[in-house]
Structure 1
Amino acid sequence: MGTAWPYEAIDRVTLRVIGGAFSAIAREMAQVLYRMSNSSIIRESEDLGCGLYDAHGNELCESESSPMHIGSLPAYIRGFMRKLAGQIYEGDIIIHNHPYHGASHSPDMGVIAPIFHRGELVGFAAATAHLIDVGAAAPGLNVDLIDVFAEGTLYDSVKLYERGRRNDAVWSILRDSVRTPDSNAADIEAMIAAVRTGADRFLKLVDRHDLGTVMGAANYWMDYSERRLRAEIARIPDGDYHAESWLDDDGRNWGKPLKVNVTVRKRGDSILIDLTGSADEVETGCNVPFEGSLQVACFYIVRTLLLDEVMTEEFIPQNSGMFRPVGVHAPKGCIFNPNFPRACVSRMAQVQRVLDCVIQALAPVLREQATAGNSAHVMSVSYSGYSPAQQQYWVCVEVNEGSYGARRTKDGLDAVDNLMANTRNVPCEEIEMRFPLRVERYELRPEAPGAGEWRGGIGAVRDVRFLVDGFLSCNGDRTLEAPKGIFGGGDGLPAQIVKNPGRADEQVLPSKSTGRKLKSGDVIRVVGPNAGGYGEPRRREAGRVAADVADGLISVEAAREVYRVVLDPATGAIDRAATDRLRAT
């Protein structure tokens, strides 16, 4: 476990072969997990992560799924090693979901298999995925909770298998403490299969190349990724870059916004993301696990801005080397570094907003990479109810799409989950087949996105009708503050969640709620934000403006008033002379 594993003597071809093998193993693990799982949030939304880690918890490779899951796994490993160091054996399977000891939040169950080679612990194969219920106060998602224990059952460094023997007592607790025992058990079995696959593939790689070569290559790729990221950071002028934003509320004190204050401190080839000045911790679950969520998000955004895979054809793997140049600070006692035992289950909107602020802060010095304001939220909702026939609850956890802000030369992406989550929504057919729900509307939002030389992305609208009595919980945000435009671009539009739209009992709901009772026939409409625009609208190509009108994204009047493009109302043809005169004024 203490071996240095040098790599200087390994030839470049072997290094590249092993690097590619690591990536392939992580992808295969994720395929096993999402294909075997039962719940829609894993099987359809792919709210999961898989990877390989060395004996110290350093990430060697990760699947191409949710960065929140994968990047947090080193913290999961550190979390259980504090209790189990020296007590880990071949054949163990460890489960862990404690948010104050590395977990991203309590519904994200970690399943980890130690990897032994000739009796020596050499690494871990690990997976996390979102379980649809963990026995919290309300089915599915929760916000208004008094402490971390109200989030559900916490598993702190628990062995589900020890030396290859299944712990039936723990399995019974896993099933008996939740509303969805069959689904949870199936999803955990899928995670076990994924980590066993990863461990098996790793050992076969060792058989092919020997342990020293494989671990030496792992160290090489971590050092390589670190060097590449530091080189990109060094290009940014030294300085402090600032942005701020406001979250809707804490899920109990509705309408009382919470400040997100971000300063990016760049020095040499390192970056520190400092959240000093952000809101104090709150008495609900609207706090953020520092190690398992905030740090991971900050690591992700620096890599995404500076070394996104679309920027280069070179192989630059994601691993712990990418974490080394990035520091994160949040004062103890703020929402991004709460004191135990504050609840911290509803944390995604907060970290998404941090990422959006990092982008806005660095936009003046990263004009090529930066986007305008993104939806920067996850309007996650859980629809649930009790089935007397099955004597279990049904729970549908849904990720509703937002949109990306525009960037230089590109319009923002429409109706897509963005930034840290990288998940997908549940198809309408899946919802209607598995749950007593009916999707009655699903389309792009009809209002215009943020105007600009490059327009912002457009959010989606989805109406879901309850066919039986049930419950609604929502972990959302972005209903008060719209995504911002940059470099002269216009702001987008905020999100909205509405009960029974168009009826006499229509009600605009807060973005965060827990266990709201609904009747059969009630409809919930979720409206995703429209993102911000990039650059002055009058600089947008007239042909693109005409196409936006033809596509129904903006009106003829908006084309003239906002973009200063004159169109024939009947044909949509551009009046070039009138447009030139208008744009000249």
Structure 2
Amino acid sequence: MNRRTDDIINRTVIMNRLDSITSEMGIALEHSAHSPIFAEACDFACCICDEAGELVSQLSGIPILATAGSFSVKSVLRKFGTAITDGDVFIINDPYDGGNHLPDIGIITPVFYEDELLFFCVSRAHHGDIGGSTAGSYNPKATEIFQEGLRIPPTRLMKNNEMIMDVLELIRLNTRNPDMLTSDFLAQIGSNRLASRRIKDMLSTYSVATVKKAVTESLIQTETLTRQRIEAIPDGTYSAVDYIDDDGFQTEPVKIAVAVTIAGNRMLVDFAGTDAQVKGFINTSVVTATCAAGIAALWFLGKDIPRNSGAFRCIEVNLPVGSLVNPNLPAPMTLCTLTPASEIIGTIFKALDQAQTGRVSAGYHRYLGPSFYGVDPRNGRYYVGFSFCSLGSGGAMKGHDGKPYIATLSNFGGVKAPNIESNEVQYPHLTLHHEMDGDTAGAGEYRGGCGMKFAFEITADKGDVVNFGDGIKFAPYGLRGGQQGSLNRSIFVHDGENIIMESKEAPRHAVKGDRIYLNTSSGGGWGDPMKRPLQKVYDDVQDEIISLATAENVYGVIISEAGIDFEKTEKRRNNS
């Protein structure tokens, strides 16, 4: 073999090995964490960055967190620089300095080999509580970030592989579940330590120079591939807007405006025209907005492009200062990784679909679900729970119906729904029903996924419920003639009274026997419903995804007890 062939083989093996390490990090984190948010919902991400903070691998976890790992590492490098030593571990969550939002805490471990800093291992995970005025740290009535929880700038958590107890105690004293928080920190530290050990094993096989060359060349190769894909898109500016229901204070919708400009092999995602920052907690950090833009662009450009810094070099993002997507301190922003991150991705999809259709999906559901907290009467312990079971569904795209019961666009299905029985063990509530909601899927040649019906009853003597999210006023969009999905709806039954809940509410007191009913939004459809294959329409009726009336009135398919009436169907479709 010649030298060039050797380099290609080494690069392929080394990069795949780094991917396998990040995957193993995620498995370790899932299996060792205490919190159901980690162990059941898998609301975390793991990645590896090089010595300059460039993202190298992010195979495990949800992309809105993994992609942000580079920002956190660069914040650590800016603050500590050459003072970083072997045996250090850093912690960060500040959305104004390298973080997504306060509940997502990053643990960063530098990897030294032969006294040289070569990599950073990063685990970022959503913690159940990080302080603030509301348990769970989602406070829909917060007007500044100080009400949302503890801000942690880049901070050294361990030195010489020993915990700095003063730092840990400061964080513990500002949270409602300090033991669980500490346990989950240790799981993140352990996940990073495992990755560090695996990287050092690899470095004992390949020289440092070989590994560094493989990483550098891989980022360059990814950049080249990404630029080739951008260059294949017709030059021009493609614009779209979408709206968030409100910010929890004003009733007016909040606009997201996006203009995607393609010029040769460059892509600019410009948010000029997006509304100014708002009073409520739907503002988004620069990290989250930038990551959301990159996620949307790379979906469009192709799944075969590695999700590393080489790809993100090609995507310029303009975030006007003082806007919803780049607010001034101390704007609150805890909701941002759900809303508006998902809406940012969807708006970019709508813009890019104008350039080349069939490469992105119709609208996904918008998250809406309560958190709940109090003391569990079964064990006397304080609990903070989240309604991960109230997921909606995905939007359709050319060739594919929308996925049912999936996490929001910003999470790309990475967050999982907990097992119902496990959920009832972990929290004092009883699930009443959990099923698909018929006749909700956005119609189209390819239809969206159905919405869901989920309800549970509080079994603790008392507690509190916080509803947060969006999608009560604006439904997931359809594409190319596809119809919108359905809206979210929440009902709180308190002392026998039905209360329709807003999407962003202050905590409500709950008592034993109170119930929460959730109808989650469905995915939007793609293409003309009258072009949906007859057999698929028939199958949807049999599966109770749509009714006979919808089959006839929306899809133009007449179905009797004997099956499809082809003659009447042809006439119905021809006359529509």
Provide TM-score, normalisation by structure 2: 0.95
1:563 aligns with 2:537: no
Shift in alpha-carbon separation, 1:494–1:509, aligned structure 2, 3 A: same
1:303 aligns with 2:295: no
Q: How does 1:123-272 map to 2 (within 5 A)?
A: 123-140=119-136, 141-253=138-250, 255-272=251-268
The residue aligned with 1:321 is 310
The residue aligned with 2:469 is 476
1:342 aligns with 2:342: no
The residue aligned with 1:78 is 74
1:294 deviation in Å?
0.7
Decide whether the 8 Å contact of 1:143 with 1:285 is kept in 2.
Answer: yes
Decide whether the 8 Å contact of 2:438 with 2:547 is kept in 1.
Answer: no
- 1:342 is paired with a residue whose SS is coil
Q: Residues of 2 paired with 1:551 and 1:582: CA distance?
A: 23
1:8 deviation in Å?
6.7
- 2:125 is paired with a residue whose SS is strand
* 1:453-495 per-position Cα deviation (integer Å, ceiling 9, x unaligned): 1111112221121112111223311110111222222111111
Q: Residues of 1 paired with 2:573 and 2:330: CA distance?
A: 59
Decide whether the 8 Å contact of 2:367 with 2:471 is kept in 1.
Answer: no
The residue aligned with 1:443 is 435
The residue aligned with 1:574 is 564
Q: Residues of 2 paired with 1:295 and 1:410: CA distance?
A: 28
Q: Residues of 1 paired with 2:226 and 2:368: CA distance?
A: 32
Q: How does 1:446-457 map to 2 (within 5 A)?
A: 446-457=438-449
* 1:427-469 per-position Cα deviation (integer Å, ceiling 9, x unaligned): 2112101111111110011233111111111122211211121
Q: Residues of 2 paired with 1:448 and 1:362: CA distance?
A: 26
The residue aligned with 1:498 is 491
Decide whether the 8 Å contact of 1:10 with 1:217 is kept in 2.
Answer: no
Match for 1:441: what amino acid?
A: H
Q: Residues of 2 paired with 1:273 and 1:517: CA distance?
A: 43
Determine what percentage of the aligned residue pairs are the same residue.
28
* 1:135-190 per-position Cα deviation (integer Å, ceiling 9, x unaligned): 11111122321312222112212211112222111222222221111211111000
- 2:240 is paired with a residue whose SS is strand
1:321 deviation in Å?
0.8
Q: Residues of 2 paired with 1:135 and 1:384: CA distance?
A: 13
Q: Residues of 2 paired with 1:166 and 1:448: CA distance?
A: 51
Which stretch of the first structure deviates more once superposed, 81-90 or 232-241? 81-90
Decide whether the 8 Å contact of 1:286 with 1:345 is kept in 2.
Answer: yes
Q: Residues of 2 paired with 1:108 and 1:551: CA distance?
A: 39
* 1:66-96 per-position Cα deviation (integer Å, ceiling 9, x unaligned): 0011100111112222221122111011111
Which stretch of the first structure deviates more once superposed, 187-196 or 413-422? 413-422
The residue aligned with 1:553 is 545
Q: Residues of 1 paired with 2:363 and 2:402: CA distance?
A: 10
Q: Residues of 2 paired with 1:31 and 1:137: CA distance?
A: 33
The residue aligned with 1:416 is 406
1:251 deviation in Å?
2.2
Q: Residues of 2 paired with 1:500 and 1:426: CA distance?
A: 24
The residue aligned with 2:419 is 427
The residue aligned with 2:12 is 16
Which stretch of the first structure deviates more once superposed, 18-27 or 221-230? 221-230
The residue aligned with 1:275 is 271
* 1:538-571 per-position Cα deviation (integer Å, ceiling 9, x unaligned): 1111111111111112222222221111111x34
- 1:99 is paired with a residue whose SS is coil
Q: Residues of 2 paired with 1:517 and 1:35: CA distance?
A: 34
Decide whether the 8 Å contact of 2:21 with 2:195 is kept in 1.
Answer: yes
Match for 1:124: what amino acid?
A: F
Q: Residues of 1 paired with 2:160 and 2:501: CA distance?
A: 50
1:368 deviation in Å?
2.4
The residue aligned with 1:312 is none
Decide whether the 8 Å contact of 1:486 with 1:533 is kept in 2.
Answer: yes
1:387 deviation in Å?
4.4
Decide whether the 8 Å contact of 1:104 with 1:293 is kept in 2.
Answer: yes
* 1:13-54 per-position Cα deviation (integer Å, ceiling 9, x unaligned): 111111110101100111111111111111111111111111
In structure 1, the gaps of 5 or more residues are: 1-6, 310-315
Decide whether the 8 Å contact of 2:451 with 2:486 is kept in 1.
Answer: no
In structure 2, the gaps of 5 or more residues are: none
The residue aligned with 1:62 is 58
